Amino acid sequence: GDSVTQMEGPVTLSEEACLTINCTYTATGYPSLFWYVQYPGEGLQLLLKATKADDKGSNKGFEATYRKETTSFHLEKGSVQVSDSAVYFCALSEFQGAQKLVFGQGTRLTINP
Amino acid sequence: GAVVSQHPSRVICKSGTSVKIECRSLDFQATTMFWYRQFPKKSLMLMATSNEGSKATYEQGVEKDKFLINHASLTLSTLTVTSAHPEDSSFYICSARDPGTVEPEAFFGQGTRLTVV
């Protein structure tokens, strides 16, 4: 079945450091890929997405590129802020219009001032 | 983006009682909604798919008599945890996708923190 594997956390960085959270996936078809963010005590918010190979999703300074050849969708940010502290989930949905999401384990990110 | 609202955000109940959690799509109609459970510091586990006007589809290992799902309208799905026990304490989150768009992402409710004492 489909699966998503994320970099183990927790990750602790200083403000303005560079961030990479690795995500790889296994899927039988051509999934859409997502990064969701969860702030403490809240639900999930969509951070960015990519629907086909070589697409780059970006939002709030975060970026991720859909790499079919390496089945990866790594999350990157050049300069993190304290407000970026949260749990980040990589996820996929298998078919166009499908709604069921398969999530990675989540990576807890803490940014220190 | 589309808005999904979940209520209550937090509930504490006694062992043996039942708790109902509501999930509403506020600005779109959702024929399908999803219910997830999240254990502390863990990922989300899909519990069931809620289908408007028909029975929910449960994932393997999820007790359907324990977690009753009703999707009586295009904007409301409910999850009822029946005869709750402390091991049911968890964070429950619903999601839905707006079928009126071609965008693939799902939108999530704020989540419900259930504590059974």
- Contact: A106, B109; criterion CB under 8 Å: no
The pLDDT of A95-101, averaged and rounded, is 64
Mean pLDDT of chain A: 92
Please name the member of A46, A98, A106 whose beta carbon is closest to the beta carbon of B1.
A46
Give me A71's structure tokens: 């089945």
Which residues 22-51 of A are in CB contact (within 8 Å) with B?
A: 32, 34, 36, 41-46, 49, 51
The model's pLDDT over A71-89, given as tens digits with 9 standing for 90+, comes to 999 999 999 999 999 999 9
The model's pLDDT over B60-88, given as tens digits with 9 standing for 90+, comes to 999 999 999 999 899 999 999 999 999 99
The model's pLDDT over B41-56, given as tens digits with 9 standing for 90+, comes to 778 889 999 988 889 9
Predicted local distance difference test score (pLDDT) of residue A42: 84
How far is the C-alpha of A94 from the C-alpha of A100, rounded, in Å?
Answer: 8
Which residues 24-83 of B are in CB contact (within 8 Å) with A?
A: 32, 34, 41-44, 46, 49
Burial label, B54 (beta-carbon count in 10 A; 0-12, 13-18, 19+): exposed
